[in-house]
Amino acid sequence: MGKVYAKYYGSPVGIIEIKGTQDGILSILYVDEWEDGTAERLPACVEQCAEQLDEYFKGRRTKFSVKVIPQGTDFQKRIWSSLQAIPFGAIRSYREVAAATGNPKAVRAVGQANGKNRINIIIPCHRVIGARGDLTGYGGGVWRKKWLLEHEKKIIPGDIK
């Protein structure tokens, strides 16, 4: 893996740190502080990611095209791939995600994989809820999960990327 670059984006749910290399995005995480950047040129994928997040928060994007490079076990990567198949604005239970990956008894493992997801929003772990419809755990805080789900419900298909 090459040099890792960071860019910060001020979103409606707080500061988001985007980290990536020339090859793709490594993480999209919520942070408490905006760190001073350098004057060096950022890789195109990092700039593109910030632009796509901005479009998402402005209600003009429902799918992301930026390349992501998830870092995890094969099982975690299968779960994260399954999360990316959840349609925009839809929700799934942990049990449904486990079943979709061929292991319906792996509910807790799905929860643990969600907790290890470092590419928030693009790998939409916020779309996974408890069996009774409760908004269980989210690394960025349940209030952010609620905000993201409500935001996606408000978006009406139309002139959206």
Start-to-end CA distance of the chain, whole Å, equals 30
Q: Which residue has the tokens 């004057």?
A: 39
Q: Is 45 annotated in the active site?
A: no
d(Cα 63, Cα 135) in Å, to the nearest integer?
23
Q: How buried is 41 (Cβ within 10 angstroms: 0-12 exposed, 13-18 middle, 19+ buried)?
A: exposed
- Token pair, residue 38, equals 């350098």
Active-site residue, from 16, 50, 68, 125: 125
84 touches 60 (CB < 8 A): no
Closest CA to 139 of 156, 153, 157, 121: 121
Residues forming the active site: 125
